[in-house]
Chains A and B, each alone.
Chain A
Amino acid sequence: MNNDTITDYIFQRLPETERLDFERAMAANDALRQEVGELKKVWKLLKNAEPAADEALDNSFYKLLEEEKGNSKRPVIALKPRINWGNWARYAAVVASIIGAFWAGRQTASPPIEYQTIAAVLPSKTTAIDVPKAPAIVAQKPQKEAVALKESPPAVAKQIAELRKEMQMTQELVVLSLLKDESASARLKGLSYATALNQPANVVIEALIKTLREDESVNVRLSAIEALERFKIKGVLVGQLAQSTEPIEQLTLIETLLRLRAKESLPALKQLEEDPNTDQSVRLAARNGIDELRVEI
């Protein structure tokens, strides 16, 4: 086994297929499993050993920034003492919902209003200018407007598509920001927002996978399972079933994989069923799961 593969696996940088291959190799090799287990433990501990910045650092930076702004003598907007990313996420969510409401309003109301307004204005203009020449003007102007009107639906559709794209990007940013939050409740909120996304970007899916594999809170991991089920990321869930040691997480994964009819989970289920160290209820659920999936084969 290549050393790079081991570190890439521990750093969660292996592509999905290679990761599954590596886990299969690990399952068949006790020495490798032990080595990876030990390295993984040290790697996790290292993350906990990261001290945070304190208020004194914040204060000195913002003082420095104020001084620098004074030196540059440019008109600047007053800076808040510090940025609160939690608040930023909340504001972004509000902005996203306003854009959404605006979009919904546009979609339901705009076409009839545009047609009616133009119909009311045009006749008054043509009759007020010059009666004898009216037929020519009338014939020309509405034609122009008609062309414009014919062109407007694609333009509106384009605007809507752009708005929709912006809204999706904002939502994704909010999700990514919340998933990185130190508070478990914020991460749970992020997962709940993620579940509501339609076809999220790969970066969001990757963040969900990372949360499932690395988050310390079991509740957060359970929500991550739910989010990944929504996007039908079966392989990752199967991989997590082979790794997990928490009975509640194992049971949730089994139920989820059964709902997804993931036959590829059979080896992992079999392993759980046969492992004497696994919780009895999990072994039973694994047994039932195997039966259920085999019936469909």
Chain B
Amino acid sequence: MTDEQAMLLVTEGNTDQAAILYERYKKSLLNFFVYRYVPYETARDLTQQVFWRLLRYRNTYKAGTVFKTWIYEIARNVWHDYTKQNPELTELSELTNVGDAFDETTDQNEQLHVALAQLPQTYREVLLMSRFQDMSYDEIGETLGLSVANVKVRVFRAMQQLRDIYFKLDKA
């Protein structure tokens, strides 16, 4: 069953199908928030918010919409609302808490977290969408309102910058 088929069943009242969508997307959505450098517990609450909105506003889902882009739009709205309520939030303020989310925190992982944190948000976002959310250029473009060519350029620059920061930290 595709994501879209499951979501259509949810809109028809078969809310059990939301469990399928939850199992498929819980990890990538959690990472969507974890890498915005909020504490793990907050990322968990925000992920929960996304699924709450999925259920509550299920009737706004229309047949023919790509589910993945729809749910990430919800996630981005949830994040937007959260930052409005927490204007003091800075990207690096909670960096130390990110490591707590991992079972095995190695030196390499730590170094990568630091490098990721130093990336501009716009670069980090496309990398995470590509890596963790497994989104295609088309899907990223649709979610962020960018052309595919722009997404490609941004992804390449993000990769280069992450590489530069990572290896610079390696030498330090």
Are the CB atoms of B13 and A50 closer together than 8 Å? no
B16 within 8 A of A: yes
Within A1-57, the residues touching B (CB, 8 Å) are 3-4, 6-7, 10-11, 38-39, 42-43, 45-54, 56-57
- Within the complex, what minimum Cβ distance (angstroms) separates A54 from chain B? 7
B132 within 8 A of A: yes
Are the CB atoms of A61 and B156 closer together than 8 Å? no
Are the CB atoms of B101 and A51 closer together than 8 Å? yes
Are the CB atoms of A61 and B15 closer together than 8 Å? no
- Cβ-defined partner of A43 (8 Å) among B22, B47, B159: B159
Instruction: Provide the bound-state CA to CA distance between A61 and B68, in Å.
Output: 19
The residues of A that contact B112 with a CB separation of less than 8 Å are 42, 45-46, 49
Instruction: Provide the bound-state CA to CA distance between A121 and B108, in Å.
Output: 79
A74 within 8 A of B: yes
Stretch with Cβ within 8 A of B (4 or more), from A62-70, A124-132, A264-272: A62-70
The residues of A that contact B156 with a CB separation of less than 8 Å are 3-4, 6-7
A295 within 8 A of B: no
Are the CB atoms of A54 and B44 closer together than 8 Å? yes
B113 within 8 A of A: yes
Instruction: Provide the bound-state CA to CA distance between A51 and B116, in Å.
Output: 14
The residues of B that contact A62 with a CB separation of less than 8 Å are 19
Query: Contacts A43-B131, A51-B101 given: A83-B19 contact, CB under 8 Å?
Result: yes
Are the CB atoms of A51 and B31 closer together than 8 Å? yes
Q: How many residues of A contact B (CB 8 A)?
A: 38
The residues of B that contact A48 with a CB separation of less than 8 Å are 108-109
Query: Contacts A46-B131, A49-B113 given: A39-B48 contact, CB under 8 Å?
Result: no
Instruction: Provide the bound-state CA to CA distance between A210 and B167, in Å.
Output: 27
Are the CB atoms of A57 and B26 closer together than 8 Å? yes
B23 within 8 A of A: yes
A144 within 8 A of B: no
Query: Contacts A61-B48, A62-B19, A64-B52 given: A51-B160 contact, CB under 8 Å?
Result: no
Instruction: Provide the bound-state CA to CA distance between A58 and B156, in Å.
Output: 35
A91 within 8 A of B: no
- Cβ-defined partner of A45 (8 Å) among B18, B19, B108: B108
Query: Contacts A57-B48, A61-B22 given: A4-B15 contact, CB under 8 Å?
Result: no
- Within the complex, what minimum Cβ distance (angstroms) separates B11 from chain A? 12
Instruction: Provide the bound-state CA to CA distance between A65 and B47, in Å.
Output: 14
- Within the complex, what minimum Cβ distance (angstroms) separates A253 from chain B? 28
Within B111-168, the residues touching A (CB, 8 Å) are 112-113, 115-116, 127, 130-132, 152-153, 155-156, 159-160, 162-163, 166-167
- Within the complex, what minimum Cβ distance (angstroms) separates A197 from chain B? 21
A202 within 8 A of B: no
Are the CB atoms of B23 and A83 closer together than 8 Å? yes
Within B1-58, the residues touching A (CB, 8 Å) are 13, 15-16, 18-20, 22-23, 26-27, 30-31, 34, 40, 44, 47-48, 51-52, 55-56
Instruction: Provide the bound-state CA to CA distance between A39 and B130, in Å.
Output: 14
Instruction: Provide the bound-state CA to CA distance between A82 and B23, in Å.
Output: 8
Are the CB atoms of A57 and B44 closer together than 8 Å? yes
Instruction: Provide the bound-state CA to CA distance between A46 and B163, in Å.
Output: 11
Are the CB atoms of A65 and B15 closer together than 8 Å? yes
Are the CB atoms of B27 and A53 closer together than 8 Å? yes
Instruction: Provide the bound-state CA to CA distance between A42 and B170, in Å.
Output: 12
Q: Which residue of A lies closest to B29 (CB)?
A: A53
A77 within 8 A of B: yes
- Within the complex, what minimum Cβ distance (angstroms) separates A57 from chain B? 5
The residues of A that contact B166 with a CB separation of less than 8 Å are 42, 45
- Chain B residues engaging chain A, CB cutoff 8 angstroms: 13, 15-16, 18-20, 22-23, 26-27, 30-31, 34, 40, 44, 47-48, 51-52, 55-56, 101-103, 108-109, 112-113, 115-116, 127, 130-132, 152-153, 155-156, 159-160, 162-163, 166-167
Please, could you name 6 A-B residue pairs with CB atoms under 8 Å apart, sorted by A? A38-B163, A39-B163, A50-B27, A54-B44, A57-B26, A58-B26
Closest 7 CB pairs of A and B: A51-B101, A3-B156, A53-B26, A68-B55, A4-B152, A7-B156, A42-B163
Q: A3-B153, A6-B156, A52-B27 are in contact. List 15 more A-B contacts (CB 8 A).
A: A3-B152, A7-B155, A39-B159, A39-B160, A42-B112, A42-B162, A46-B131, A47-B131, A49-B113, A50-B27, A53-B26, A53-B27, A61-B26, A72-B13, A79-B16
